[in-house]
Chain A
Amino acid sequence: MSVLIYTDSSNGALTKNAFEAANYGGQLAKAAGTDAIAIVAGSASGLEELGNYGISKVLHVADTELDNFDPQKIAHVVAAAVTETGADTIVFTHDYSGKSVAPRLSAKLDAGLVTGAIALPNGNVVKKAVFSGKAFAEIEITTATKIISVLPNSLDKVETGGSAEVVAFSTEIPSTGITVKEIKKESTELSLTEADIVVSAGRGLKGPENWGIVEDLAKELGAATACSRPVSDIGWRPHHEHVGQTGIAIRPNLYIAAGISGAIQHLAGVNGSKVIVVINTDSEAPFFKAADYGIVGDAFEVLPKMLEAIKQLKA
C-alpha cells in the first residue's frame, strides 16, 4: 500500500501543477501512514525537489519517447508503476495532463476515479465541486484501487523539507497512433489556471484597444489576464482567456473583474476564487452579490488608480 503521484513534466521540467499533485499525495500518504511515491515520464530534472512535499521516492522513466505528451503511453507507464509500487491510491492534477491520463488509467485498472477533488479524502469519500461550482458533491470510490485528481489551488501547501530519492524506472512503451507535429507555447504569458492572481475584464471595456490598463495592472501584480465570453467571441481577446462555464474554470487567490456583469455562466468559472473584487459602473450588476470587495465606478478610472496604489505599496 502506498500513494502514487503522477507529476507532469511535459515542459521538460516539473510544472507548478505537478507540485499541487505532490502536495496532495504527500499529505494523503502521511495521513494514511504510508509512502508517497512520484512517477515522472520523459526528460526532466530537479525531481529531488518533490521531497519538499512529502514525496520519498521518484520513479523516473527518462525515455525521450515520452517527451511528447501522449496519454495512451503515459497511462501505460503509470499502470506499470502501480504494479511496481503496489499503490492503492493514484493522484493526478485536474489539468490538461490529468484530464487526459486519469480516465484512461481508471478504465485500464477498473478503478474508481473522482476528478477535481478540492480536499483530502475522508476515508474513500472525495469532495469535489459540481454544477460548475454551484454545489459540492461527496463521492465514494467503491473499488479497492482509487484514483483522485486534485483541482489546482485547492489545498494549502505543506512543505516538509527534504529531498526525494530519484530512481530510474523502465517499462515497455507501447507504440500508439499519435504524432505530435508542433507545440505552440505562449511561454511569456503566465498560464491562467496556474496564476495566483487573475485580472479579468468584460464588455464594459468597450474595445480591444483599451486592454492596456488591464495588462498593466496584471503585469504589476504578476497576474494572468482573463475575459468574459462575449469579449473572446468578438475577437477582442484570444479564446484561451475566456473563463466561465464554457471557457476555463479557475480558482485563483484573487480575481479582479472589471466591466463584467457577472452572469451566472461567467460566475460558474470563477466562483471558486478565494477573494473576488468587482469594479462596475452599475451598482445593480449581479457580480456584486458574489464579490468580497466592490467599487461602483468606472474601470477606466479605477484600474489605473489601483496600479498607482500598488506601485506605492511596493515602494
Chain B
Amino acid sequence: MKILVCISKAPDTTAKIAFTDGDTKFDEEGVQFIVNPYDEWYALVRGLELKEANGGSVTVLNVGAADSDPIIRKALAIGADNAVRIDAETTDALYVAKQISNYAKEQGFDIILAGKETIDYNGSQIAGMVSELLDSPYISLASKLDMNGNIATIEREIEGGVEIIEVNTPFVLSAAKGMAEPRIPNMRGIMAARSKPLTVVPSSEATAATSIKGFTLPPEKSGCKYVDTAEELVALLHNEAKAI
C-alpha cells in the first residue's frame, strides 16, 4: 500500500499573530513553526498505522521552500519512510493542489491523506482540489479509516451526525479528529530521520487563482462587563445584548 501524506507548515498554536509590509504579509519574526496539527496527529499517524498493519510505504509531501525542512524532518522522525518537497512559494490553494496532483499522478498512490484544514489560512480546500484534479473520490472530514485489502471503510462527519461509507483505492481523504492519537517522536526516530531521503523536486507550471491583498486584526473587545448575579446577567442578555 502506497500512502501519501500531505503536510503543511503552520505557526504554533500560541504564536503571536502580527503582520508586516503594510499588513500584507504574516510576520514570521520569532514564530515557531510546527506540522499542521491535523496533518501530523491524524493523517500522518493513521497512515503509519495502516502501513504497519498492511505493509507498504508512507511518503510525506510538502509544497514549500527550504524553511519547511524542519517540519518535514519531524514527520520523518514520527515514522514516515521518505519525504518529498516540491520547491515553491505557496500563496494560493489551487496552485498548491496542482503541484500535489502533478506529482501524485506520476507516482500512483493508493491513498492520499491530508488534514481537514491548515490552522493559519483555514482553507479546507487543497485535498478536495487534489481529488478533482486526479479524478478520484474525495472523503472530507473523516474521523475513522479502516482498510480491508483495497477497500476502505470510512466514517465522516456530516451535519448533525456521521456517515459510514465504503470506497476502493485510490482515494483522497481529509482527516479530522478521531482518526488516530498523536505520536511523539522518540530518540531513535529522530536519529533515523536524519538519514531518511528528503527529495527536493522543482515545481511544475501552474497559475494561481487568488491573491492576498491584506490582513487586519479584529477590533479589541470593549472589555468585559462584570455582573454579580445570574438574574442581572439574564436581564442584560435580554435587554442590552438582545441575545435571549
**Chain A residues within CB distance 8 Å of chain B:** 8, 10-11, 15, 17, 69, 71-72, 75, 94-97, 99-108, 110-116, 125, 128-143, 176-187, 189, 191, 193-194, 197, 221, 239-240, 242, 245-247, 249, 253-254, 264-265, 268, 271, 274-275, 277-278, 288-296, 301-303, 305-306, 308-310, 313
Name 29 interchain pairs, CB-CB below 8 A, sorted by A: A8-B159, A10-B158, A17-B159, A72-B132, A75-B132, A96-B159, A101-B128, A104-B131, A104-B132, A107-B129, A116-B124, A125-B213, A129-B122, A135-B19, A136-B215, A137-B121, A138-B214, A138-B215, A139-B210, A181-B153, A183-B158, A240-B157, A245-B37, A246-B41, A249-B122, A278-B224, A288-B226, A295-B229, A295-B230
Are the C-beta atoms of A182 and B13 separated by less than 8 Å?
A: no
> Within residues 107 to 130 of chain B, which ones have a CB less than 8 A from any CB in chain A?
116, 119-130
Contact across chains for B132 and A103 when beta carbons are under 8 A apart: yes
Are the CB atoms of A176 and B137 closer together than 8 Å?
yes
Q: Which residues of A contact B97 (CB under 8 A)?
A: 103, 107
How many residues on B have C-beta within 8 angstroms of the other chain's C-beta atoms? 79
**Smallest Cβ-Cβ distance to B217: which chain A residue:** A135
> Which of B46-54, B81-89, B189-197, B234-242 interfaces with chain A?
B234-242
Q: Hey, what's the 0/1 contact readout for B126-142 against A, CB within 8 Å counting as 1?
A: 11111111000111110
B205 in contact (CB, < 8 A): no
Residues of B within 8 A of A97 (CB): 159
Residue from A114, A183, A309 in contact with B163 in the complex, judged by beta carbons closer than 8 Å: A183
Query: Is there an interface contact between A185 and B210, defined as CB atoms closer than 8 Å?
Result: no
Are B127's CB and A103's CB within 8 A? Answer: yes
Kindly identify which residue among A104, A129, A134, A136 contacts B128, using a CB–CB cutoff of 8 Å: A104
Query: Does the CB pair B13–A133 fall under 8 Å?
Result: no
Contact between B209 and A141 (Cβ–Cβ < 8 Å)? Answer: yes
7 tightest Cβ-Cβ pairs between the two chains A and B = A103-B128, A112-B209, A305-B230, A185-B161, A107-B132, A309-B234, A254-B243
**Chain B contacts to A: CB under 8 angstroms:** 11, 13-14, 17, 19, 37-38, 41, 92-94, 97, 116, 119-133, 137-141, 143, 153, 157-168, 171, 177-178, 208-218, 221, 224-231, 233-238, 241, 243-244
Taking a contact as CB atoms under 8 Å apart, the answer to whether A134 and B17 are in contact is yes
- Report the nearest B residue to A179, measured CB to CB: B166
Question: Which A residues are CB-close (under 8 A) to B41?
Answer: 246
Task: Give the distance in Å from the alpha carbon of A246 to the alpha carbon of B42 in the complex.
Answer: 11
Assuming A278-B224, A293-B241, is B125 touching A115 (CB within 8 A)? yes
User: Are B209 and A72 neighbours in the complex by a CB distance under 8 Å?
Assistant: no
Given known contacts A116-B122, A142-B209, A265-B13, A295 and B160 CB-to-CB distance under 8 angstroms: no
Which residue in B120, B166, B171, B224 is a CB contact (below 8 Å) of A288?
Answer: B224
Per the bound structure, the CA–CA distance linking A106 and B132 in Å amounts to 9
- A139 neighbours in B (Cβ, 8 Å): 210-213
Asked whether B166 lies within 8 Å of A181 as measured between CB atoms, the reply is: yes
Contact assessment for A177 and B171 in the assembled complex, using a CB-CB cutoff below 8 Å: yes
Asked if B143 and A239 make an inter-chain contact with CB atoms under 8 angstroms apart, the answer reads yes
The answer to whether A275 and B138 have CB atoms under 8 Å apart is no
Contact A178 B238 (CB under 8 A): no
B214 in contact with A137 (CB, 8 Å): yes
Contacts of A245 in B (CB 8 A): 13, 37, 119
| Listed residue (B37, B166, B233) with the most chain A CB atoms within 10 angstroms of its CB | B233
The smallest beta-carbon distance between A222 and chain B, in angstroms, is 9
A268 partner residues in chain B, CB cutoff 8 A: 13, 119
| B9 vs chain A, min Cβ distance (A) | 14
A129 to B234 Cα, complex, angstroms: 30
Known: A116-B122, A140-B212. 7 other contacts (CB 8 A): A103-B124, A113-B210, A142-B211, A183-B161, A239-B143, A240-B157, A265-B13
Chain B residues with CB under 8 Å of A11's CB are: 159
A185 to B82, CA, bound (A): 40
Q: Which of B141, B160, B166, B237 contacts A191 (CB 8 A)?
A: B160
Nearest CB in chain A: distance from B49 CB, A: 18
From known contacts A69-B163, A295-B228, infer whether A99 and B141 are also in contact, taking CB-CB under 8 Å.
yes
**CB neighbours of B92 from chain A (8 A):** 112
Identify which of B122, B228, B238 contacts A313 (C-beta below 8 A): B238
Contact B166 A178 (CB under 8 A): yes
